[in-house]
Structure 1
C-alpha cells in the first residue's frame, strides 16, 4: 500500500521510478456503477495510459479476463472472481514497469490462476519489476529471485528466495509450537455423536511435532468420545495446504477398515512412513461417520498445523526421492550422480540424460 501510494509512511520516504500497476485488493480502483468497459478505461487512465493505447489493448484485456459477455454490465454485479480476473488483466496488460500483486489470486479459478502465473513469468522475462506478496512458497520460488520475509511488519530476512523459504518455515514452526491440539467444548457441536478430544502429530520418539522433513515418519493420534455406539465407525484424516488445496485424504473405509465404536473414549492412530510434500505449512482435519447410517458424525475445521521443511529443494506439490544418471559418451554405462532426495519430479528408473553435467 505504501508502494502503491494508498498509504503514506509514518517516517522516511518511498520513491517509485516507472509506470506502476497495482493489484492489491479485489475490486480496488473499480467504480461499481460503471461497466467493465468503462472501468478498463478508468483504471488505464489512472495508470497513465492514453485512450488510444487502451483501445489497442482492449481486446487483449477482455479476452484474458474472459468477461466478453459481461463487458457492458455494471461491475457491482460481478462476482469476486470476475473482479479479480478483470483487475489482474488490466494491471498485466498496461505495459507496467513495476507490477504489485498482493494475495489476490486466491479468489480466481484454478485455470485462471495458472494463466496469471504464466503472465507474470512473461512480464518478468520482459524486464518488468514484480513485487509479489504471497504465502504460497511454491509460487514465490518459481517467480521471484529474491524475497523478503516480514514478521509483524519488520524485515527478518532479505535475500535469495530459496533461502527465504527456510527462514519463513522456521518462523512458522516456532509460532505453531504454542498452537493448541486439544479441542475445548466451545469447538464442538454437542448434537454430534462424536466429540474430538485431540489430534496429535508424533515423531518416532513419541514426541509431539509441528515441524518435520519430507522423509520423517509421522504418526497421527486421534482421541475422541462417542455418545452412542457406532458398530462400523469410519475415520478420515485430511491435509491441506490452503482452503483450496486438499493434498491428502486417508479414509479407513476405503482401506476396508471400520472400527467398533462403543460409548466412551477411543484412540485411533495412523502412521505415515514419510510425507513426500514440498516445503510449506499444512493443516489437518478429522472426519468421522457411521458406515451403516451413512451419516457424518464429526467434521472439524482445518486447524491442526504442520510445517514441512524440504530445505528449499523442491517446487510443486510433491518432494519425491529420485536418482539422476549421466553418460557423456555413446554406449557408456551411466554412473549415479550425487544423490539428492528432494526435487520436484521423479525421473524414470535408468533414464539417461546426454551431455548433462551434475555437480
Structure 2
C-alpha cells in the first residue's frame, strides 16, 4: 500500500542537535507551510528509550516528518507506526548520514551499498502505516558513486514504496572525513539529481546540498520537485520569512522580527514553567541577527545568562541591543519570476 506524499516546494533538513521541537516552533512563527523534519531518531531510542521525549511535538509544528535511523525492517515498521500515532505527517528513512557512530549501527549512508535492504525497510514501514514513507540519501558512496548506481538505488527503493526521495547532491565519504566535512568537501553534482528527475518523472525528487537562498531554491525548482535547505536555515532562520508567499501562494504579510520574538518569549516562559531548561530553547535564537548592529551584545547577554536560571525577561532584555527599525521591519520583498518556477 503506497501513499504518495504531498509535494512541498521547500523544506528544512533534519539536523542533529538543531531541529529539535524548540527550533521547529521558532521556525513555525516564520513559515507556516514549509515542511519541517525532526532530528534523526534511532529505532533504539524509540523502542528502548523515552519515546515521548524523542517524539512529542507541538501541534503548530505540522506539517512535520519524523526521520528514523535504523536498518531492521521490523524495528523500523514499529517505530513508523508509533510515529503515525504521534501525528507525524510522514516518515523519512535516513540513508545519508556518514558519521562513524551511524555506520557502526549499519544505517545511514552506508545503506546505499545495499539498496535491497533499504527496500525491505521501506516496504515494512509502508505496510505498517497509512502515511507516506520517504527516503533521504546521498548521491552515492565510494564504489557506488556513478549516476547508474544512484539510478538503480532510486528504482529499487521507489518500487518498495518511497514516492519522495531527497538526494543530497554529494557523495558520502565513509572514511577520513567528519560529518561536517562531508557537507562541504565532496563536490556538488546537481546535474545528477536533475537527471534522476528526468528518468523518474512520476517520483517526487527533492534536492539537498549547498542551497542558501530562496532565489537559488527557485532556480532548482525548474528541474526538481522540491528543495531542502539545511545549515542556512539554522544560521539565518528569517531566510524563510517569504517562503509561504513565494512557494505556497499565501497572501498574508510575514510577521516582523519583534512579533516573532514576542511569541518566542511567551513560549520560553511557558515551557520553563513546565520544567524545560531555558537554555535549551534560547540557544536556537543566538544566531537570529547575523551581521546586524548589536548582534554581538545580544548574543553575549543570552550566552552569559541563559544557563543561570535567568529572569523571564532575559530575551526582551537582549533584544534591546538590536535596532528597533530592524526588529519592526516588515519582512517583505517584491516577488518576481516565481510564476514560471511553480
- TM-score, normalized by length of structure 2? 0.29
Relative contact order (alpha carbons < 8 A, sep ≥ 6): 1 or 2 greater?
2
Which structure has the greater CA radius of gyration?
1
